[in-house]
Amino acid sequence: MKKTAKELAAAVGATVEGNGDLELAAVASPERAGLRDLIYADSAKNVPRAQSSAAICVVALPGVDLRGKTVLRSITPKLTFAKAAGLLMGRPPIAAGVHPTAIIAALVQISLNASIGPYAVIGEDVHIGEETQIGPHAVIGAGCWIGKNCRIHPRVTLYSGVRIGDRVEIHSGAVIGADGFGYAFGDGQHWKFPQTGIVEIGDDVEIGANATIDRGSLADTRIAAGVKLDNLVHVGHNCEIGEHSVIAAQAGLSGSCTFGKNVVVGGQAGFAEHCKLEDGAIVGGQTGVLPGKTIRGGEPVWGTPARSLEKFKEQFAWQSRLPELAARIKNLESSVRK
Amino acid sequence: MKKTAKELAAAVGATVEGNGDLELAAVASPERAGLRDLIYADSAKNVPRAQSSAAICVVALPGVDLRGKTVLRSITPKLTFAKAAGLLMGRPPIAAGVHPTAIIAALVQISLNASIGPYAVIGEDVHIGEETQIGPHAVIGAGCWIGKNCRIHPRVTLYSGVRIGDRVEIHSGAVIGADGFGYAFGDGQHWKFPQTGIVEIGDDVEIGANATIDRGSLADTRIAAGVKLDNLVHVGHNCEIGEHSVIAAQAGLSGSCTFGKNVVVGGQAGFAEHCKLEDGAIVGGQTGVLPGKTIRGGEPVWGTPARSLEKFKEQFAWQSRLPELAARIKNLESSVRK
Amino acid sequence: MKKTAKELAAAVGATVEGNGDLELAAVASPERAGLRDLIYADSAKNVPRAQSSAAICVVALPGVDLRGKTVLRSITPKLTFAKAAGLLMGRPPIAAGVHPTAIIAALVQISLNASIGPYAVIGEDVHIGEETQIGPHAVIGAGCWIGKNCRIHPRVTLYSGVRIGDRVEIHSGAVIGADGFGYAFGDGQHWKFPQTGIVEIGDDVEIGANATIDRGSLADTRIAAGVKLDNLVHVGHNCEIGEHSVIAAQAGLSGSCTFGKNVVVGGQAGFAEHCKLEDGAIVGGQTGVLPGKTIRGGEPVWGTPARSLEKFKEQFAWQSRLPELAARIKNLESSVRK
């Protein structure tokens, strides 16, 4: 999918300075780039790296001087670079055609140009959308609905009844729709609470390797459009995650958490049952949010239990000064006792 | 497995008020229920939801007024509902029959009505009990022993020699019996310590998706009857977990931890080597327990390092008041200096 | 691989006292050992266990009296035992020969005595070294290079282009080379940042079950020789981990962390982007290291944010005394006010 600098600029909304007819084939870092690779420089620090790169074409901020280079001007070079990368670089195929070893149950609908890899097992009544690729060893439970242009990597499991939108990417080892962790205790043992809901995943979601998203118990688990979940993230039953929220690796949501839109969660953060994150909430890595708590948008929180980052910093500073405070108390006691 | 209200009440130990001949087919939440779905109301808050539901039959506390409904009276409505759900609702099948693509080594014993899904790989000398279902792509190592009525979901791995009781459910992606993490350092490198023990799992255990339970090194790893482990839980070599203990998602046990019966562990809690949890210990989410520590039953602990929840709260309250304490010290210093 | 005590001593650099012609077949704990099992005693506490064991041959410190036993003397009994175990005990095979159901793409090089298990899927241009065993259901992406004597357990996924050295062991469910978690936000959505680097894994690395190591974005992710990663560890894109470093279960590295040699990381520790751990750094369990921070070698750190263990302990001690300090301030206030 080669493009000229001019074509690329038009597609991503940048302006060209220099040779607009220059043909670009890929993207790279300044150090690894060849002549036909696009690079970017988003800070003063990175300008010398760009200048000395073998690459000829650079995405850079207006006003940044890059002698001898063709420059795509953008006030958001990293974003522009990411968009250009999406246009220039094909994604490696996950499957090509429907492999004869794929086991496909009755009443499965395989849309035009959908691909299914070797040894995949597709349950009854599954729908697979156009151009969707399903990798080797994927197990798709009965009644799942998968939209268009999805990339289901090898060894993904969807339990029955999972619904997935368009352009969703699910990485290897992820398990979607397993039973939630719910029991009622009585007579000295735990009785399984029914886990009969489903998982619904919106368009443009990406789910990391070995992540787990449990099905709803009596309600459903819902991941809205544009959400990005990193590797080994856990989402409990009945959680709802709003549009374009981003959750870093190893974070975990207990049951029935409700996250708004554009939430940002750091790695290894944990959420007890029935937490609520409002739109735009920002939760630091390893933060722990107590059951039923609400986190407001815009004000970052940190620590366990979660408090505002500002408050955390203040408390932390005083903790470091505890030995000093104790010494001052001792001094006061000596003075007063005299 | 339809049942009348009367039959159901008899089976779960409730009493019926209203139409005992009403036929029930499933369970649901009040909002989603149809005429033949059983619902429950376990708190005053939920009574209006139950009252306005399309469902006719409700499990509710004695004395709760639900006009026009058939009521199953129980002092533990959620428990009774869970038991009823188990009777009414079949579980979706994981496999049906022994699929011709399953690879079954020599000397495997497949009991009556056991099922093995497509592409499962069963090693030598494995025993599979009656009615047990093994999902597609499961890999069962040589010499494993699996009891009756187990549900081994797709893409579970059992390394060799794992022993599993009856009615055990293991979710997709779980890995049981991988080598423990043990090395001896010398000559500038880590030498693998032998990991020759096995994993023993009791009856009625449930293990979450992508959880990992390592085999013993020179001893065994043991999970007792009725234990429930959530997704992505890690259990190190030589750990022992007592009956009916419950461990929430992403919690991790280092090697040689010993947990008693009815222990409750919150999500993302961590346990260093040789921890001991006595019967009935309660450990909050994200808590960290130091090597060799003992946690007593009944008194919840929290924080890293773990302390009693009461103590944690007291300390936390004072931490929040540190700026105030510091100001008071300053005031005192001014007064005394005068 | 039976060996006499004499042969074993010579191979591991120990000296024999007693019957050097004694034939040994395996290793065990003192309690489980039979006549021909080797055991060890590395502390005074363990000497009675060794003495009363059925085993005849014990690895023990110089000077420790073990009547009637043949003793392999070593100043590092556990290390010597581990080395001896490696010589005595074969590892259970993961695969034997190339199974006819393995799907092997064009231009795959399978070296002498390499084995590939049932239903493994090997992409184009893959190289598999001598004596390497690849388990059932492994999925090896196009262009991967795997060295000699590796043990790739069942259900491992390597995305395309992963390079693996010799004697590497990767446990079931691990996913190597999935896309890193990188996006640029704009126009109300997250645009995927290109993830075109690879993962490079050195010799003698061991990777735990369900661990995830992401491929580089524009650079590569590198795991040096001798590194040991426990189960469910996450390594983000562009991380570099130095030789012989050890990372315990459920620890997580965000993107672009750089770890030196011989680093030791406890379970559930978390590292924000661009952390740097110098050679010999020691990071306690559940510790959280902030973005861009450097941790020096030799001085253990703990807590979130990470500080020296010594400092943590001091602060923690004062926290416990906060109620007392507050009472003393109150007393002072009463005295001064008088």
Same domain, yes or no: A82 and A172: no
C182 touches chain B (CB under 8 A): no
Same domain, yes or no: B71 and B10: yes
Catalytic residue among B127, B153, B234, B237: B237
Under-70 pLDDT residues of chain B: 338
**Of A62, A88, A114, the domain-final residue:** A88
Mean pLDDT of chain A: 96
Under-50 pLDDT residues of chain C: none
How many structural domains comprise chain B?
Answer: 2
For C269-294, the pLDDT digits (tens) are 999 999 999 999 999 999 999 999 99
Same domain, yes or no: C142 and C59: no
Cβ B199 vs Cβ C94: under 8 Å: no
- CB contacts under 8 A, A 35-74 vs C, are none
Same domain, yes or no: C73 and C107: no
A154 touches chain C (CB under 8 A): yes
Cβ B92 vs Cβ A160: under 8 Å: yes
Report CB contact under 8 Å: B319, A319.
yes
Is C129 inside a domain boundary?
yes
Same domain, yes or no: B34 and B149: no
Q: What is the pLDDT of residue C336?
A: 85
pTM of the model: 0.97
DSSP category for residue A49: H
Nearest by CB: B181 against C78, C117, C208: C208
**Of C23, C58, C88, the domain-final residue:** C88
Is A300 inside a domain boundary?
yes
A327 touches chain B (CB under 8 A): no
Same domain, yes or no: B112 and B252: yes
Per-residue H/E/C for chain C = CCEEHHHHHHHHCCEEECCCCCEECEECCCCCCCCCEEEEECCHHHHHHHHCCCCCEEEECCCCCCCCCEEEECCCHHHHHHHHHHHHCCCCCCCCCECCCCEECCCCEECCCCEECCCCEECCCCEECCCCEECCCCEECCCCEECCCCEECCCCEECCCCEECCCCEECCCCEEEECCCCEEEECCEEEECCCCCCEEECCCCEECCCCEEECCCCCCEEECCCCEECCCCEECCCCEECCCCEECCCCEECCCCEECCCCEECCCCEECCCCEECCCCEECCCCEECCCCEECCCCCEECCCCEEHHHHHHHHHHHHCHHHHHHHHHHHHHHHHC
Is B330 inside a domain boundary?
no
Same domain, yes or no: A71 and A146: no
Cβ-Cβ contacts under 8 Å, B141 against chain C: 92
Q: What is the pLDDT of residue C233?
A: 98
Same domain, yes or no: B280 and B146: yes
The token duo for C167 is 């004697």
Maximum Cα–Cα distance across chain B: 94
CB pairs under 8 A between A and C: 178
**Of B88, B117, B137, the domain-final residue:** B88
C202 touches chain B (CB under 8 A): no
For A161-173, the pLDDT digits (tens) are 999 999 999 999 9
Cβ-Cβ contacts under 8 Å, A316 against chain C: 305
Residues 6 or more apart whose CB falls under 8 angstroms from that of A224 comprise: A202, A205, A240, A241, A242, A243, A244, A245, A261
Q: What is the pLDDT of residue A90?
A: 87
From A207, B294, B293, select the one nearest C212 (Cα to Cα). Answer: A207
- The CATH number of the domain holding residue C124 is 2.160.10.10
For A107-130, the pLDDT digits (tens) are 999 999 999 999 999 999 999 999
- CB contacts under 8 A, C 241-270 vs A, are 250, 252, 254, 268, 270
Is B9 inside a domain boundary?
yes
Q: What is the pLDDT of residue B259?
A: 98
CA atoms of A281 and A296, how far apart (whole Å): 6
- The CATH number of the domain holding residue A27 is 3.40.1390.10
Cβ-Cβ contacts under 8 Å, B27 against chain A: 194, 196, 218
Nearest by CB: C270 against A135, A155, A285: A285
Same domain, yes or no: B164 and B299: yes
Q: What is the pLDDT of residue B277?
A: 98
Is A28 inside a domain boundary?
yes
B161 touches chain A (CB under 8 A): no
Is A128 inside a domain boundary?
yes
B230 touches chain A (CB under 8 A): yes
Same domain, yes or no: A162 and A233: yes
φ, ψ for residue C12 (rounded to 5)? -105, 0
Angle, helices A309-320/A322-337, rounded to nearest 10 degrees: 50
Same domain, yes or no: A275 and A137: yes
Is A324 inside a domain boundary?
no
Same domain, yes or no: C115 and C17: no
Q: Show the domain range for C118.
A: 103-311
Nearest CA in chain A to B323: A318
Cβ-Cβ contacts under 8 Å, C192 against chain A: 82, 85-86, 206
DSSP category for residue B289: E
Is B151 inside a domain boundary?
yes
Reply yes or no on whether the pLDDT at A2 is more than 90.
yes
ipTM associated with this complex: 0.97
Q: What is the pLDDT of residue C16?
A: 97
Nearest CA in chain C to B196: C28
B117 touches chain C (CB under 8 A): no
The rounded Cα B130 to chain-centroid distance in angstroms is 23
